[in-house]
Structure 1
C-alpha cells in the first residue's frame, strides 16, 4: 500500500515467546501509518508472514483491528488492508492544575469521546479529589451510555500535573505542595478501580503532540510547554523520556542567573502565571482564556511588553534544549490562546546560534504546537494506552 513513503515501525522478533512484544509492534505500526496490508506489516516489522497473519487474527478476535475492503493495484493480486478499531480500547485522562481540573475519555486512536472540567482549590486536595472522582464517574457514565461494552474496555487512568515530584516538603505554591503530599494515586485507584499512572504536564502535552500533533512521526522532539508554569516534554528515539524520577524536562526550575539571593527560575518570569501577575488578573476567573485571546489580538501594550521579556528568556531555553538534546525540532505548546502563543513564537525569533542551526533542515528549529487547553488531559489519557499497547523491551522480558 505504501509505495512512496517509508512505513514507520519498530522491528518485531521471530524468537519464541515474544508475541506480546510483536502485538505491540503491530499496533504501533497501524497507529503511526494508518491502514496496512499483512505484506506491509511483515516488511516493516521484519516478522515472518506467518507470524504477522497469526497476530492479525488475534488482534481481530480481540476487537483491536478490522479488515477493510480488498484493494487491487495494477495487475497484482488484491490485498486486504487492516486498520485499528478506535473503539477497541479507551482510557481516561486527568489534568490537575493549580486552579482547575479537566477529565477526558479518549479511544484507541486518541479521539476525545467525553470531557468534563471543574475548578480546584490549590491548598485543598481532599475535597478536590472528591470533585475529580465525580467528574470521572460522569464521563464513565457518558461512555457507557454510548455502549455498555465500551466502559469494560477502559485500560486505565492517566494523571498529569505540575512537577517536580518527590522533592522534600516545600511551601513553594508553584509545586502544589498540598497535592504533592496527598496520597493522590492511591485515592484515585481506590475510587475508580482503574490502574493509575502519573506524569508531569509537559510530558502529557508531548504525548498529545506525538499522537495527533506536530511531533507525530518525529523521533527526536522537545515540547516546550508554557502554562501556569514551564516545563519540557522530551521525545527521544521515538519514546517519551521521563527520567529516573519522572522529573525530566523541568526546565522551568532552571535559574536565569547564578544561584544566590535574587536568583530567579525561568517560570517565575516567562510563564502564564507571570503574565497574570503582570496584568493583575485572577487565574481563577471564568473567561480568562477568552480575555487573554482578545488582549493578544488587540496587541495590548501590556501584553506586548510581557511577551518581549518572556521571549528573551524562552529563547535562551530553546538554545539550552538544542545544545543538550539535539532534537529535530522544538515545539512550543501552551495553554494560552493561539493568538498569544503566536506572538510569543514570533518574538522568540531570531533564535540564538546553536548546534541546531544547520543549513539543511526538514523541520524548523522552533514551531508552534497545540494551544488547546484540553491537550494535557488528552496526553494524560494516552499514557495508559501507551502502557497497554506500545512496544517496549520489557514486553520481551515478560514473555521470556
Structure 2
C-alpha cells in the first residue's frame, strides 16, 4: 500500500452532465497512476463531486474494472475503502513486426505480461507472413482464454508496431535506402493492407504505429522517461528512429511518421551520401562485422566483440556515436526536451557504450562539468511489443485528449 500522505497524481474531471465517458477514464487513470485510492481521495484529486465518483466507482466495479481492497482507518474519520484496478478487467495484444521476426505480447489492465511468443517471419512475402501472424495471434488468444475464462470478451484490441515510415513518406524511404533495398523500410509490407486484414481475421480493433513510437511508449511505462513530460527517445534497432513525448503525450505527426530520423543524410563530411540508419543501427553494425542480422546468437556476438575490444567494432562505435550525437543535437535544438534517451532492441552493453561515448564528446565540446547529455534507456527485445500493447489499453481507458478523439 502506498503512503497515504503522498501527493496524489490525477487528471481533473468535469462535473458537466455530458462528460461521463471522460470521467470514467479520469477515475481509471488516477487509480492506475496511484495504485489504490479511496472514493474521497478520488474526489479530491479529480475535482469531481463525491456523488459522481461514487456512481462511477459502482459502475466500474460492476464492469469488473476495479475492485475494493481491505478497509483502512485514517485518523478519526470514517474508515476508507481503497479501490485498485482489477488486473483481469481488460487485456490487450501487442504485435511487433520486424525484418525477420514477429514478437507478440499479451498484457492485462495493470500492465502485467501474461503471454509472450516470437516466430520467424517472411519479410519479403507479406501474404505468407500474414498467415504466420494470424496463427500467432489465434494461439495467444486461445492460451489467454485458458488462463482466464472470458478474456476474449475483455480484450481491448490489437496494437501493431513495425518499421516506418507510412503513407507518402514511404516513397522517400525507398529512395533514401535504394529502390531494391527492402531491408530497412520493409516496402512490400508497407504496401500490404495489414490493418484491414487483421481486423477482418481477428475481429479486434487494430491500431498501427511505427516501432520507434512503440519503444518510446515502453520507455515511458517502464523506463527512464516516466518522470518527464518532454522527452526525445532514440530507438536503436535494425533501423533507427525517434519518438517524441510532448507535454506528456506521444506526438505522432502525419500518418504516424514523426521521428523518422533514420532517413536523414548527415553532412558531417562532404563525401556523405548514406542515410543516418545506414551508419548507426543494428543493420549497419552487422554489415560492418559481417554478421547475419537474423542470427539467433547475434546479441552474444555483439557482447563478445565489445568485451574483446574488436578493432572493427571499435571503429564502428566511433562512427555510430558521432552520427547519433549529431542527430541528438539537432533534436535538442528543435524540441529542447527535458531528457534525451537512447533505447534499443540491442544488448545493454552496446547502448551503454554508445551513450558513454556521446556524453564524453559532449562534455569536451560544451561543458566538462555539466550533466550527461544523453541517458541510456531500456535495452529489451520485447520493448516494442510492450509499447504496442499499451495502445489499445490507452485508447480505451486513458483520459488524454487524443484517446478521446480516437474513440
TM-score by length of 1: 0.92
Q: How far apart in 1 are the matches of 2:211 and 2:269? A: 26
Q: How far apart in 2 are the matches of 1:360 and 1:273? A: 33
Q: How does 1:384-395 map to 2 (within 5 A)?
A: 384-393=392-401
1:363-390: per-residue Cα shift (whole Å, max 9, x none)? x642121111011011101111111111
Question: Which position in structure 1 is the counterpart of 2:284?
Answer: 274
Structure 1 residues 4 and 220: alpha-carbon distance in aligned structure 2, compared to 1, 3 A threshold: farther
Residue 128 of structure 2 corresponds to residue 127 of structure 1 = yes
Question: Which position in structure 1 is the counterpart of 2:304?
Answer: 294
Q: How far apart in 1 are the matches of 2:361 and 2:89? A: 44
Structure 1 residues 231 and 397: alpha-carbon distance in aligned structure 2, compared to 1, 3 A threshold: closer
1:120-147: per-residue Cα shift (whole Å, max 9, x none)? 2321111111111111111111101112
Q: How far apart in 2 are the matches of 1:231 and 1:179? A: 18
Corresponding residue to 1:178 among 185, 188, 193:
188
Unaligned runs of 5+ in 1: none
Deviation at 1:265, TM superposition (A): 1.7
Q: How far apart in 2 are the matches of 1:245 and 1:330? A: 24
Question: Which position in structure 1 is the counterpart of 2:197?
Answer: 187
Question: Which position in structure 1 is the counterpart of 2:86?
Answer: 85
Q: How far apart in 2 are the matches of 1:320 and 1:204? A: 22
Question: Which position in structure 1 is the counterpart of 2:378?
Answer: 370
Question: Equivalent residue of 1:16, what SS?
Answer: coil
Question: Equivalent residue of 1:152, what SS?
Answer: helix
Question: Which position in structure 2 is the counterpart of 1:118?
Answer: 119
Structure 1 residues 2 and 19: alpha-carbon distance in aligned structure 2, compared to 1, 3 A threshold: farther
Structure 1 residues 261 and 319: alpha-carbon distance in aligned structure 2, compared to 1, 3 A threshold: closer
Question: Which position in structure 1 is the counterpart of 2:331?
Answer: 321
Unaligned runs of 5+ in 2: none
Shifted more, 217-226 versus 266-275: the winner is 217-226
Q: How far apart in 2 are the matches of 1:108 and 1:14? A: 26
- 2:103–2:117 CA contact under 8 A, matched in 1: yes
- 1:42–1:49 CA contact under 8 A, matched in 2: yes
Q: How does 1:185-264 map to 2 (within 5 A)?
A: 185-257=195-267, 262-264=272-274
Shifted more, 166-175 versus 93-102: the winner is 166-175
1:224-282: per-residue Cα shift (whole Å, max 9, x none)? 10001111111111111111221001111122029998522211101111000010001
Question: Which position in structure 1 is the counterpart of 2:347?
Answer: 337
Deviation at 1:323, TM superposition (A): 1.4
Question: Which position in structure 2 is the counterpart of 1:283?
Answer: 293
- 1:256–1:265 CA contact under 8 A, matched in 2: yes
Q: How does 1:82-161 map to 2 (within 5 A)?
A: 82-161=83-162
Q: How does 1:32-43 map to 2 (within 5 A)?
A: 32-43=33-44
1:288-316: per-residue Cα shift (whole Å, max 9, x none)? 12222232234333222211211111112
Structure 1 residues 352 and 68: alpha-carbon distance in aligned structure 2, compared to 1, 3 A threshold: same
Q: How far apart in 2 are the matches of 1:27 and 1:298? A: 50
Question: Which position in structure 2 is the counterpart of 1:303?
Answer: 313
Structure 1 residues 360 and 350: alpha-carbon distance in aligned structure 2, compared to 1, 3 A threshold: closer
Shifted more, 190-199 versus 4-13: the winner is 4-13
- 1:252–1:267 CA contact under 8 A, matched in 2: yes
Deviation at 1:396, TM superposition (A): 6.8
Q: Cα RMSD between the aligned structures?
A: 2.5
Q: How far apart in 2 are the matches of 1:375 and 1:367? A: 17
Structure 1 residues 33 and 193: alpha-carbon distance in aligned structure 2, compared to 1, 3 A threshold: same
Structure 1 residues 396 and 390: alpha-carbon distance in aligned structure 2, compared to 1, 3 A threshold: closer
- 1:20–1:395 CA contact under 8 A, matched in 2: no
Deviation at 1:19, TM superposition (A): 0.8
Question: Equivalent residue of 1:299, what SS?
Answer: coil
Q: How far apart in 1 are the matches of 2:51 and 2:345? A: 47
- 2:32–2:85 CA contact under 8 A, matched in 1: yes
Larger relative contact order, structure 1 or 2 (CA cutoff 8 Å, min sep 6) = 1
Question: Equivalent residue of 1:215, what SS?
Answer: coil
Instruction: Point out 4+ residue stretches in structure 1 off by more than 6 angstroms.
Output: 258-261, 394-399
Q: How far apart in 1 are the matches of 2:118 and 2:96? A: 9
Q: How far apart in 1 are the matches of 2:387 and 2:405? A: 27
